[in-house]
Structure 1
Amino acid sequence: MTDDIKEALLSLGEEKKPRVNRISEFIPIQPNIRRFVNQTISPLLDEAKTQKVFVESKNPTGLILHGLSDIVMKLKQKINSIINEIKQNITTSHLQLSSTESDLFRVDAYKLAKSIERETNTIIRDIAADKASSTLKTNENDTSPAITVVVNSRGQAIAVEKGDITKVKNVDVIVNAANGTLYHAGGVDKEIADAAGPALDQECRQIIAKNGGLPISAGKAVKTTAGNLPFKCVIHAIGPQYNDDDQQARPLLFSSVLSSLRLAECESYTSVALPAISSKTYGFPLEDCTNFVVRAVKQFFADYPQSHVKKVILLDMDDAACNSFAREVVIDHRNALIEDDDIINYELSPLTAKWCWQDDNGDKINDENHARQIEAASQHYLKTFCMPTWDSRISLIRLSPTGHLPMAKVHCNFANMPR
């Protein structure tokens, strides 16, 4: 009896602790209505914090609520009710944009699209980007999106991008910064040749052979297969070498770009990517280079208002080149294009003979820049010195050093030279 009373008394002193049940609930929210939902439920979430409900909002597919079961379930019910109401009232329109229009929206991490969203209280989704992000893993080596895109009233576009030209996406052809001999010595020229494989190099040799062994003149452009690269062809723009006192370099650079785009137009290509031609290997000042490249592209679009080529991408791995391109494309060059007739129509006269020089080490070099120096010296010699007869069998002339040309034995074929 005593034990029973003791147990009863002890049980009266015990406080019955309530049982606490904590849960986590996920609320799915579609990306296309996420911003509308966040705006509407913001007061509910503030209230939830006062009731010690923790909200995870970083999940891109929805919200996660952590807290007491009864509070969480009531909050979930209210949020789902708001989501359903938004779904019923929202209007969705699908717009089919051209490649150029899509680029405009993607520039600077969708800056234009975000501005439109804020002003109109709408949500703009890039369906292609959504699909890509859900099916592809991020590749650290992918090229960056467009830095700048400008479009004229006819829908012709110039885009500036940073990246490897051998990996540029969605273009028909790429332009190579080539030399007159089509020998791939270095820079972007060698990168393209290495990526394309032996087929491109073989066609380059054939082009020089068909040209009588002479280098292609600066300012011109030729095309070859793209080999292993995923393009319809590679266009080789023969850029000029730059010297401070050389008045020919600028118009020749302009001509090389214009010739490349005209060649692409003749083949009915719709998109072209090209680098800062002559800027590195050939020593062209960067600002001058990008200025003349951009002006040449704009001149092409002015000359061909209904062109097949609708998009030109100016692309380089160098930040300085990309920034310089970006500054140039937004400048109005229309007055400059009208005034520079001497640049637009500039063309080098063809070489009259095949020239090469042999240095003290015995290395033969067939270079257009040196060939033109030698020919100029030879023509000056012919005009200055009286020679009653000219023996076409002469095949060796000894020249004194002039300018950058060292003492050299000069071999030539005078078959086509004036006498």
Structure 2
Amino acid sequence: MRNTDFDRIPADQLPSERRIVAAVWPTLLASAVGLLPFTVFSTFLVSIADAVGDGDAAVGTLRGLGGIGAVLAGIALAPLIGRIAPGRVAAAALVLLAVASVVGTFAWMPTVAAFCLLTGVSNALMYPALSTAAADRFGDGPAAARAATLVMTAQTLASTLAAPLIALPALWWGWRGDLVAVAVVALVLTPVMFRYGRDERPTDRGGQRPGYLATFRTLAAVPGARALLLVAFGRAGAFMGNLAFLAPLYNDRFGLSPTVFAFIWTLSGGSFFLGHLVAGRLLNTDDSDRRAHRVMMICLLTALVALFGVSFAPVLPVALLCTAVLSASHAVIAAAVVTLLVRRCGDVRGPALSLNASGMSLGLFLGTAAAGAGLAVGGYPGAAAVLGALTVLALGAALTLRPPREADVIHPGGLR
């Protein structure tokens, strides 16, 4: 069946989840691999710092270079994902990831800095390309958005399971062996993604691709695109800012040790995974934007309540419940943003997803910094106020969304 044929199938006859996974499995596997280098860096930060001969704090701050690289590369290279087959962009990103992993094995501050920067750039290219490649397998209907959300679902599952999976083989070959293994797997996946990309050439979707600057102008003309990107920015800032200070909050409020907090981290990650998995399915049972928009609004309000619930919970069970609800709500919001961008952006869905990823990266670092400032000034209530403001920002942007008119939707070949 041709990919565009999925657009003409009634929603209740769309392919099953199993069939979608079978069609996009290379993108899901690559999504998991892309997360591994920074997981190794975070898990073995102490060992890496010892090998470098510097302090944990100094080496750990280099992780920020990955975020800077992701933001700049995601914005600057966004049009490329619209002009080059996304599978081929992902293949190039996998090669860059392999190079970064090998560079990271050299315990020297400049090479660790290069590792973080190259990994960030690689991820900025990889995840939008993978989501676009997965969506392109199913044309422009609901199945396309569902396929795109599965890429982030796989990434979320990997983030929950990766740490213990890389810790076990490291007992034999150390953290350097983990990075070499990541490089090998990335290179093995490269030809798979390159061939996957040949099936979805940019010209397959019809029409001539806009130029570099025209891509941004075309995307700006998509109804609600800018509002959705602002939702992604505010949501990521609020959620990641909360996660950054969740461990000390549980320690100060309830006296939980880092070992016990590991289970709470799993609770948060598991809730996000389940929320994203279920949302990606339920939001795409039809091609109406109204359901995705309505659910996004409800979950933004729920996330705002849960955020303050975590900060002011009187007892541990209430804090745990609010932590799970907060994570699940943000997962649903993230899935709704991707769903609406894929549906509305047509031929510029790749650049849109790239800017979405950049917005989330920017939100992560600004949200964490703002939460730290709020914590320094007003304690945990101050941090909650700052993160609540970011959530309100996302909510305000979501309120401006309106169902697009048929004449405004970007179809294959450009605006119609």
**What is the TM-score normalised by the length of structure 2?**
0.25
**What is the TM-score normalised by the length of structure 1?**
0.25
Higher helix share: 2
